[in-house]
């Protein structure tokens, strides 16, 4: 009689492991120099990968835009009418290419916008709305959970606004510098970031305090070499041009993280310094709000001192999140921390203001919106509906889909607006672009509504 063979039982891969064999596979203990070696390898690889989206000389350049793109997305004219206008006005940019397919730089598109704004049909919007008497709006994109799409949302909104004709400044406050990479920025050290501008704000407060102390015969607060140097820095020293003609950048790099340690030290040295206003003050005092239409602040994934500065400076707060329970839960905690942080600042400041018979301070934002990003309607609709129900008027109506175009552009260190549509199926490109166009459309409605309210309602109070 033949015995039947018993099936071999398969155990999970984490059982029956041999400790001695496991120890034999371990490397020698790691010391700190190995981190430097890993960082050097990553830096070399990062440069190599970044150049895949760059020109051969390592510099990013913005592609040109076709007649099809210009008339479909940028300037509200028919292709045939654009060709007639170009033929009748040889002094205008004529583009490159043969026949009806011409390609234009964005600088040339902006010139064409100006021409149509002065010569075109008065009922069409050739230039985007912005009241002459209004200052730039500051937009913070923030959430203390990483991976929710803060940088990609900020980058694509900045590019959308630039294509729409606005002049944009992007300030990267994340020491990882992802936004800086997307915009091709060069940031050799922390003195090319916002660090010296916040240091300058503290140094100015110390200088003012020392004048009071001298008058009262008190010992002065010393200004160290860093603070003395910061007093000589202007925002113009750190703002750099990008490959987009109407997007400028204040970049970030790893050393910017030291600001998170230095800001509280400065505050301890001068308790009257409002550490949350460092960013706001240089934007206002140095005329930056008059030089641009929109200023986007890309924040680190933490509610640190740089993020607090960004939130305090913001007119509009955008909070990206994915349609998942964990991201919904984390975002709720983010709002809770915003409340406790800024309410605490208000309480502390207003106690001293009341004692001195001064008007009380109050933080206010024109509008706050949470934006669902990387949305997959086939799997996340129910959760997105729940999030929508709980956040109510804090939520954007449009949910930003994840498409193949978004993924491929990200692999090439490009925004989708930098991607050449000829490299994609036309339908894929149109659908992918529409994802961010609709997000921008909802943002733009908020933006122009805030400007209109500023000029027409608040000015009459």
Return the top range by mean pLDDT from 91-100, 224-233, 359-368.
224-233
Which pLDDT score, from 0 to 100, does residue 205 have? 96
Q: Which residue has the higher pLDDT, 408 or 373?
A: 373
Say yes or no to pLDDT of 386 above 90. no
Of the pLDDT bands very low, low, confident and very high (cuts 50, 70, 90), residue 403 is: low
Write the secondary structure of the chain as one string of H (helix), E (strand) and C (coil): CCCCCCCCCCCCCCCCCCHHHHHHHCCCCCCHHHHHHHHHHHHHHHHHHHHHHCCCCCCCCCCCEEHHHHHHHHCCCCHHHHHHHHHHCCCCCCCECCCCCCEECHHHHHHHHHHHHHHCCCCCCCCCCCCCCCCCEEEEECCCCCCCCHHHHHHHHHHHHHHCCCCEEEEECCCCCHHHHHCCCCCCCHHHCCHHHHHHHHHHHHHHHHHHHHHCCCCCCCCCHHHHHHCCCCHHHHCEECCCCCEEEECCCHHHHHHHHHHHHHHHHCCCCCHHHHHHHHHHHCCHHHHCCEEEEECCCCCCHHHHHHHHHCCEEEEEECCCHHHHHHHHHHHHHHHHHHHHHHHHHHHHHHHCCCCCCCCCCCEEEEEECCECHHHHHHHHHHHHHHHHHHECCCCCECCHHHHHHHHCCCCHHHCCHHHCCHHHHHHHHHHHHHHHHHHHHHHHHHHHHHHHCHHHC
Centre a 10 Å sphere on the Cβ of residue 106 and count the other Cβ atoms it contains. Answer: 20
Mean of pLDDT values over 374-398: 85
Which pLDDT score, from 0 to 100, does residue 9 have? 67
Which pLDDT score, from 0 to 100, does residue 407 have? 53
Which pLDDT score, from 0 to 100, does residue 8 have? 65
Which pLDDT score, from 0 to 100, does residue 155 have? 92
Contact 126, 144 (CB under 8 A): no
Say yes or no to pLDDT of 332 above 70. yes
* Token pair of 363 as six digits: 């933080």
Of the pLDDT bands very low, low, confident and very high (cuts 50, 70, 90), residue 204 is: very high
Centre a 10 Å sphere on the Cβ of residue 257 and count the other Cβ atoms it contains. Answer: 18
Which pLDDT score, from 0 to 100, does residue 53 have? 66
Mean of pLDDT values over 266-270: 94
Model confidence over 286-314: pLDDT tens digits?
999 999 999 999 999 888 999 999 999 99
Contact 297, 310 (CB under 8 A): yes
Mean of pLDDT values over 8-14: 73
Contact 64, 104 (CB under 8 A): yes
Q: Which residues contact 79 (CB under 8 A, 6 or more apart)?
A: 67, 68, 71, 100
Model confidence over 436-460: pLDDT tens digits?
888 899 999 999 999 999 988 765 5
Mean of pLDDT values over 329-334: 87
Which pLDDT score, from 0 to 100, does residue 262 have? 95
Q: Which residues contact 130 (CB under 8 A, 6 or more apart)?
A: 166, 293, 448, 451
Q: How many CA atoms, within 13 angstroms, populate the side-chain half-sphere of residue 184? A: 22
Say yes or no to pLDDT of 259 above 90. yes
pTM: 0.89
Model confidence over 131-186: pLDDT tens digits?
998 999 999 999 987 777 888 889 999 999 999 999 999 999 999 999 999 999 99
The span from the CA of 274 to the CA of 461, in Å, is 28
Say yes or no to pLDDT of 34 above 50. yes
Region of 93 (left: φ > 0; alpha: ψ -120 to 50; beta: rest) is beta
Angle of helix 259-269 relative to helix 305-313, nearest 10 degrees, comes to 80
Q: Which residue has the higher pLDDT, 17 or 444?
A: 444
Which pLDDT score, from 0 to 100, does residue 411 have? 47
Q: Which residues pair with 321 in a beta bridge?
A: 372
Mean of pLDDT values over 242-267: 95
Contact 285, 313 (CB under 8 A): no
Mean of pLDDT values over 350-369: 89
Mean of pLDDT values over 81-96: 94
Of the pLDDT bands very low, low, confident and very high (cuts 50, 70, 90), residue 406 is: low
Which pLDDT score, from 0 to 100, does residue 276 have? 95
Which pLDDT score, from 0 to 100, does residue 409 have? 47
Q: Which residue has the higher pLDDT, 70 or 48?
A: 70
């Amino acid at each position: 009689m033949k015995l039947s063979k018993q099936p071999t039982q398969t155990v999970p891969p984490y059982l029956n492991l041999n400790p001695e064999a496991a120890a034999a596979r371990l490397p020698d203990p790691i010391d700190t120099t190995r981190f430097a070696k890993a960082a050097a390898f990553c830096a070399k690889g990062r440069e190599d990968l970044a150049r895949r989206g760059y020109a051969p000389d390592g510099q990013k350049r913005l592609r040109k835009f076709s007649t099809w793109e210009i008339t479909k997305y940028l300037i509200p004219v028919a292709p045939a009418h654009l060709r007639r206008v170009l033929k009748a006005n040889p002094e205008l940019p004529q583009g490159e290419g043969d026949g009806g397919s011409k390609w234009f730089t964005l600088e040339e598109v902006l010139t064409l916008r100006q021409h149509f704004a002065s010569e075109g049909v008065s009922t069409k919007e050739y230039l985007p709305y912005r009241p002459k008497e209004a200052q730039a709006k500051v937009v913070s994109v923030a959430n203390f959970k990483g991976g929710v799409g803060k940088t990609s949302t900020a980058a694509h909104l900045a590019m959308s606004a630039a294509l729409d004709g606005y002049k944009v400044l992007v300030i990267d406050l994340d020491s990882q510098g992802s936004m800086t990479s997307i915009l091709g920025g060069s940031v050799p050290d922390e003195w090319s970031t916002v660090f010296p501008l916040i240091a300058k704000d503290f140094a100015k407060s110390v200088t003012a305090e020392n004048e009071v102390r001298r008058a009262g015969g008190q010992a002065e607060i010393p200004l160290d070499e860093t603070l003395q140097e910061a007093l000589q820095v202007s925002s113009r020293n750190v703002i750099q041009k990008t490959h987009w003609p109407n997007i400028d950048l204040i970049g970030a790099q790893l050393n910017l993280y030291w600001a998170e340690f230095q800001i509280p030290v400065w505050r301890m040295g001068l308790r009257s310094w409002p550490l949350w206003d460092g960013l706001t003050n240089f934007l206002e005092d140095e005329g930056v709000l008059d030089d641009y239409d929109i200023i986007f602040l890309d924040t680190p994934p933490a509610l640190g001192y740089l993020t607090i500065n960004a939130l305090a400076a913001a007119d509009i707060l955008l909070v990206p999140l994915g349609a998942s329970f964990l991201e919904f839960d984390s975002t709720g905690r983010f709002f809770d921390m915003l409340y406790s942080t800024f309410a605490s600042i208000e309480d502390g400041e207003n106690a001293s203001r009341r004692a001195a018979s001064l008007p009380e301070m109050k933080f206010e934002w024109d509008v706050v919106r949470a934006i669902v990003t990387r949305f997959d309607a086939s799997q996340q609709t129910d959760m997105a509906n729940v999030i929508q129900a709980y956040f109510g008027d804090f939520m954007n109506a449009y949910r930003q889909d994840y498409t193949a175009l978004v993924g491929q552009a990200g692999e090439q260190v490009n925004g989708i607006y930098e991607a050449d549509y000829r490299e994609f199926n036309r339908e894929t490109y149109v659908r992918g672009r529409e994802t961010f166009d609709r997000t921008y459309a909802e943002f733009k409605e908020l933006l122009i509504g805030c400007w209109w309210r500023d000029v027409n309602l608040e000015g009459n109070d």
